[in-house]
Amino acid sequence: MSLGRRVVLAAGAGGFLAGCAASSDPGERPRGPSSRPGSATVRTPPPAPPSSASAPPGPAPRATRVATVARYGRMTPVSWGFTAPGVVTELPPAAGRAIALTFDACGGPGGGGYDRELIDLLRARKVPATLFLNARWTDANRARFDQLMSDPLFEIANHGTRHRPLSVSGRSAYGIAGTRDAGEVFDEVAGNRDKLTALLGHPPRFFRSGTAYCDDVAARIVAELGERFAGFSVNADAGATFTPAQVHRAALTATAGSIVIGHMNHPAGGTAEGMARALPALLASGHRFVRLSDVVH
């Protein structure tokens, strides 16, 4: 099943296709035409975008902010959406019947909550997951962070410094302003990467932008900074706006190789209850759950 088909299925369960747009500042909640279900398009750019032609040949220089701006600052993106070259949206075939659950914690006003029921569910069922933490969430939840990072069930990943859609040209998604240029892309990725590196003792391997939107040039910058951009193929909670029944239905569309996105920062949402209904069925059908680093190399 194609990514587009899967996303359409998830969208059909209701709500919008924000990776996490509704989970930060209520003032940043999706609005306008782009927030309607199905209106956010997954655009796959051509394999050889024109912007790449302007990339200097040879190995990348050391990925400082100055070097990043020098290398990517004049490039023009050709795509904007949930995927771009280099964005991982499904697990490799070698992962077999594995499914990767990923949960974002977006931080900021209204987005700093902790879904204890969801985390307890994963622990009770020994279901591993990858947790994408924004710097603001970590700052507001240091004790929680320490518990999560020390739990081998969970992999900690980078959900950005200020929770911005990742753009080199100032595009926005769901009413959330994106980064404005290559320098701000660097800040968004490297700021939280450095924070997590100090806390974890090693850099996070995976990055997902606020709202999960990116353009193709920004995705290249993520790779140059040493991280894999993690997209998704099943949207389980639509920015934590789904009811438990909707989460249940959306999660059950996951199959071998799926990367499922949900949220762990809205305890009043339907994510935990919906996942509690879906996990037994997914396990009974022979699936297993992995952290992204377990199978994406």
For position 106 contacting Zn ion by CB under 5 A, the verdict is yes
Contact assessment for residue 219 and residue 74, using Cβ atoms and an 8 Å cutoff: no
Our CB check for Zn ion shows the closer of 106 and 129 to be: 106
The nearest distance, CB 161 to Zn ion, in angstroms, is 12
User: Taking CB under 5 A as the criterion, which residues in 191-210 touch Zn ion?
Assistant: 210
For position 260 contacting Zn ion by CB under 5 A, the verdict is no
Our CB check for Zn ion shows the closer of 174 and 186 to be: 174
Rounded (5°) CA angle 162-189-5 = 90
The nearest distance, CB 195 to Zn ion, in angstroms, is 16
Residue 54 DSSP label:
G
Q: Take residue 202 and report the two structure tokens written for it.
A: 């090693």
Our CB check for Zn ion shows the closer of 127 and 264 to be: 264
Residue of minimal Cβ distance to Zn ion? 20
Q: Per-residue contact track with Zn ion, 14 to 33, x per CB under 5 A?
A: ------x-------------
Rounded (5°) CA angle 52-53-55 = 65
For position 135 contacting Zn ion by CB under 5 A, the verdict is no
Q: Which residues of 182-211 are buried (b: 16+ CB within 10 A; e: fewer)?
A: bbbbbbbbbebbebbeebeeeebbbbbbbb
The nearest distance, CB 105 to Zn ion, in angstroms, is 7
- By CB under 5 A, the count of residues binding Zn ion is 4
Report the residue from 104, 188, 215, 227 that binds Zn ion according to the rule CB under 5 A.
Answer: 104
Read off the amino acid at residue 23.
S
Contact assessment for residue 134 and residue 109, using Cβ atoms and an 8 Å cutoff: no
Site residues, Zn ion (CB under 5 A): 20, 104, 106, 210
